[in-house]
Structure 1
Amino acid sequence: MKHALQAWWAIVQRELLKFSRQTGRLVSALVRPLLWLAVFAAGFRNVFGMAIAEPYDTYIPYDLYIAPGLVGMVLLFNGMQSSLAMVYDREMGLMRLLLTAPLPRWWILAAKLSATAVLSLLQAAAFLAVAAALGTVLPLWGPHTPHVLLAAVCMALMLGALGLLLSVYVQQLENFAGTMNFVIFPMYFMSTALYPLWKLEESGAAWVWWIARFNPFTHAVEWLRYALYDKDPGLAPWVVVGTGLLCFGLAAWGYDPQRGFGALTRRGPGGAP
């Protein structure tokens, strides 16, 4: 156990040190959601003047509605960036060294996932601090704070596990951008990050409503949104945790050289035999 914890900490520490030297990564992670908050939300600030819907008990400005979705954006993009880092490490041969360590393969991947989640949460905290300075203050503190933290941690782990799974099947860096476009944008825009489900149903976009309803990212954002207002999130926690476990299990299977698509210990960088 001591050896396993040392390996876990070494992997997490490596990712934190690498991130500390990449200041541009933090800036880019903050610029994207802040632009949405400052520009997009300003044009639709009073979009909820028509109705009051759960978890809100009164009318709220649009920037308060999309803020949890923008936190999800930060976590989503960092989870996908972790996938890119995994593909790069594999091409450079670093992943082969890690995965041949005398430790269970799933433990190594869990350590990578933990590092991704920690970095995601740090970036989300930085975004919330800047958003508060701009006047968008979420109700983070109170008896519900542990629930908010639990929702954010599970959300970061789920999206990190999704990135881990994608890194199995994205074999080269050149294929990464195209693959991400088919994951990030549909997952984000076909969710409740920017608009509630009842708005989609009311507008007649039935197919978008159905996709958003079953989108795991929708449930992650809704869990965080309901936790902020100390309301019951329903089935959302089960969907988020279940999706995260499923993605992690498939990723661990994929990185198994005997069964999965990864077969990393028998192939050179870039998938060459």
Structure 2
Amino acid sequence: MTAYLTALVAIVTREALRFIHQRERFIAALVRPLVWLLVFAAGFRAALGLSIIPPYQTYITYETYIVPGLCGMILLFNGMQSSLSLVYDREMGSMKLLLTAPLPRWWLLFCKLLGSTAISILQVYVFLAIAAAFGVAMPALGYVTVFPALILAGLMLGCLGLLLSSFIKQLENFAGVMNFVIFPMFFLSSALYPLWKMAESSELLHDICALNPFTHAVELIRFALYVQWNGSALFWTLITTIAFGLAAAWGYDPGRRQIRKRA
């Protein structure tokens, strides 16, 4: 158990130090959602009418609606950024050194995932504080109840990043894969528009958005911010996290690589 805890502390500390020395990464993680909140939302406010839908008890502004989606955006982009660092570490050789430690590979990957998720949650809370300063505030208790939702959503998106990094061999290929995954996941979700709005334009788009795991993560965050329970979003986010996690562990399995080389 001491060895497991030592590995956990070492890997999480390494992630924290890397984050501290990359201040541009912190600023970039906040610029993206703030541009949506302060610029795009101002233009969409008049064009999009929002009905009273759960978890809201009254009419809300568009800025209020997109805050949970922008929290999900931070988790999504940071999960991909963390997986990019894995590809970089593998090219530099430090990843191979880490994975040869006398500990289960799944534990080493989990430690890496936990460190990146903790950083993502810190960024989300800073964004929520800035949003509140601009007048987009949530219920006071919601800032507490959203914490478990952020952990689960961050783990889900981090597992997706791990899964992608297990199949990407070169750093140059990662940008294309990120764009192919991030933008469809973000825009084909309920982060920016309610699902009923999607249904008005296209039933097919509505069905795609409803099946998108990112939609369930955003709705989990949305309901948690308003101290409400969403069992369906919790169930699908949890199932997707487990599926992505198992697939990522399989992707980093050295036995699979040996079989592929022999083939």
TM-score relative to the length of structure 1: 0.91
Deviation digits for residues 199-224 of structure 1, max 9, x if unmatched? 11122x12211110010000000011
CA RMSD for the aligned pairs?
1.7
Letter of the 2:179 partner, please give it: N
SS at match of 2:254: coil
1:82-121 pair list within 5 angstroms: 82-121=82-121
Alignment correspondent of 2:123: 123
Greater share of helix residues, 1 or 2?
2
Unaligned runs of 5+ in 1: 267-273
SS at match of 1:58: coil
TM-score relative to the length of structure 2: 0.95
Alignment correspondent of 1:245: 242
Distance 1:157 1:149 in 2: 12
Q: Do residues 67 (structure 1) and 64 (structure 2) align? A: no
Query: Residues 261 and 218 from structure 1, CA distance in 2 versus in 1: closer, same or farther, beyond 3 angstroms?
Result: farther
**How many residues are matched?**
261
Alignment correspondent of 1:269: none
1:42-191 pair list within 5 angstroms: 42-46=42-46, 49=49, 51-139=51-139, 141-142=140-141, 146-191=144-189
**Which region of structure 1 is more displaced relative to structure 2, 210-219 or 45-54?**
45-54
Deviation digits for residues 6-54 of structure 1, max 9, x if unmatched? 1111000001001101111111111111000001111122556462111
Consecutive aligned runs of 4 or more in structure 1 exceeding 6 Å deviation: none
SS at match of 2:192: coil
SS at match of 1:57: coil
Q: Do residues 256 (structure 1) and 253 (structure 2) align? A: yes
1:223-242 pair list within 5 angstroms: 223-242=220-239
Distance 1:70 1:118 in 2: 17
Query: Residues 261 and 171 from structure 1, CA distance in 2 versus in 1: closer, same or farther, beyond 3 angstroms?
Result: farther
Distance 1:63 1:260 in 2: 47
Letter of the 1:81 partner, please give it: Q
Letter of the 1:58 partner, please give it: T
Unaligned runs of 5+ in 2: none
Distance 1:219 1:76 in 2: 13
Letter of the 2:195 partner, please give it: L
SS at match of 1:36: helix
Distance 1:119 1:11 in 2: 13
Deviation digits for residues 40-77 of structure 1, max 9, x if unmatched? 11112255646211111100000000000000000100
Distance 2:50 2:108 in 1: 50
Contact 1:169 1:261 (8 Å CA) reproduced: no
Contact 2:146 2:221 (8 Å CA) reproduced: yes
